[in-house]
A and B are shown apart, each in its own frame.
Chain A
Amino acid sequence: MYGWIWRHLPGGTASRAALALVLVLAVVALLLFVVFPWVEPRLPFNDVTVDQ
């Protein structure tokens, strides 16, 4: 998977490394600001209230 992505990035090693870094940051941002906030309320370990 990672090898396939690397081979399909354009340019030489420097350009590929820079693009790969941008891709990694984009995925991390997507996880932190979109996926995790959506997933979190569905997980059971955040209940702090008493209720029935």
Chain B
Amino acid sequence: MTDPQLGLDATQRMDRVPALEPRAAAAPPRDPLWRTLARGLGELLVTAGLVVLLFVVYEVYVTDLLNDRQQGQLNEQLHDQWDAGPAPEAGTPIAPQVEPAVGEPLAVLHIPRLGADYERVILEGTAEDELSQGPGHYEGTAMPGQLGNLAIAGHRVGKGSPFLDADQLVPGDPIVVETADAWYVYRVLGNPGTGDYTTDPSGIPGQQIVRPTEVSVIAPVPGSAGVAATGAYLTLTTCHPKYSARQRLIVHAELDGAPIAKADDPDGPSALQEG
């Protein structure tokens, strides 16, 4: 009766199972509306989260890649302009530079502390159009080497992050500005011996963190609005803290010695090898 080889029991069990065919053939039951809506909302929220993450990737990495290409083009454009001008001759005085039109490249910035090959083309103007391509020269402030304040704004994070590590500049660090025919070496103010930013003889701090409305930091004499220029200064402004625009990080530097003519020193001053 229960001989497994006959399979009698198995047959009987299968007979008791309800037939599956008709149910499988019928259309699947529709989900209730609330479930469709809840699923749609969940998918939307997950998608929104992914888009925000992608935006962070864009800001921190993709803008760097795009900026790298733009800097390359600007560098080419600037060097073409320089090559088109008269070749520098040894012994001739360095001609003062004329402020170019907004959006035009103006000089090349070298900051050895931020990397031996750190090199950024500065553009005229500080609107986002310019700043997305490189550090921007505040319109109307001094030109390289001139009496007054050569003020430059640059992004901290993204867009090539030119001033990402501007807070690591210490007193005495060189900031070299290269123009068509000369090198200008500026040095961060403060006491190079102690690293104290605030004890420079000029009274101007080498580094400060200010509110975004503090325009006196780019005055001809940094920190003293309305005073006539007494020296050749350079000021960098960027946002602070990183990833925020709550404050501004400011670095002040002063021209160190006479400009070095490219005719005399085509490879640049020894300050480029510091840091």
Contact = CB atoms under 8 A, between A and B. Distances in A.
Interface of A: 1-3, 28, 31-32, 36, 39-41, 44-52
Contacts of A36: 55, 58-59, 62
Given A48-B155, A50-B212, 7 more contacts: A32-B54, A32-B58, A39-B55, A47-B212, A50-B153, A50-B213, A50-B250
Given A2-B43, A41-B128, A47 B245 contact: yes
Contacts of A41: 128
B248 interface: yes
Given A46-B128, A49-B138, A50-B213, A31 B54 contact: yes
Contact of B243 (A2, A45, A50): A45
B244 A49 contact: no
B210 interface: yes
Interface of B: 39-40, 43-44, 51, 54-55, 58-59, 62, 126, 128, 131, 136, 138, 153-156, 158, 163, 210, 212-215, 217-218, 237-239, 243-245, 248, 250
A27 to B, nearest CB: 9
Nearest to B215: A50
Majority DSSP secondary structure for residues of B touching A? mixed
Nearest to B246: A45
B244 A50 contact: no
Contacts of B210: 50
Nearest to A52: B213
Contacts of A1: 39-40, 43-44
B237 A50 contact: yes
A40 to B, nearest CB: 7
A52 B210 CA distance: 13
Contact of B213 (A31, A44, A46, A51): A51
B51 A48 contact: no
Contacts of B54: 28, 31-32
